[in-house]
Amino acid sequence: MRCANCGNEDPETLWDEGETIYCSSCTHRTRKTDYEDDSVQCPYCHRMRDKSAMYCRHCNASDWNPSTPSEFEEIDNILNGIGY
């Protein structure tokens, strides 16, 4: 098992979830079918977001509606400020 995002191969921090492998080191999931990162870009804050998670862990958006340019500018400033 190997994390597609950070290259982690430590079985202590990789979790076999059936179709995906969860890496607790970087919180990304890797698909077993093609060994690609299973994260998708959040349409609101444009950060990488877990496809199966209810909320985006960066901007807390619970839907998949894209942000307007001014909304994106606002959330981007906030997230940059806290290091995302």
Residues that bind Zn ion (CB under 5 A): 3, 5-6, 8, 23, 25-26, 42, 44-45, 56, 58-59, 61
Using the minimum distance from each CB to Zn ion, give the nearer residue, 25 or 31. 25
Closest contact distance (angstroms) between CB of 22 and Zn ion is: 9
DSSP reduced 3-state for 81: helix
Using the minimum distance from each CB to Zn ion, give the nearer residue, 23 or 38. 23
Closest contact distance (angstroms) between CB of 80 and Zn ion is: 13
DSSP 33-80: TT--B-EEE-TTT-SEEETT-SS-TTT---S-PPPPHHHHHHHHHHHH
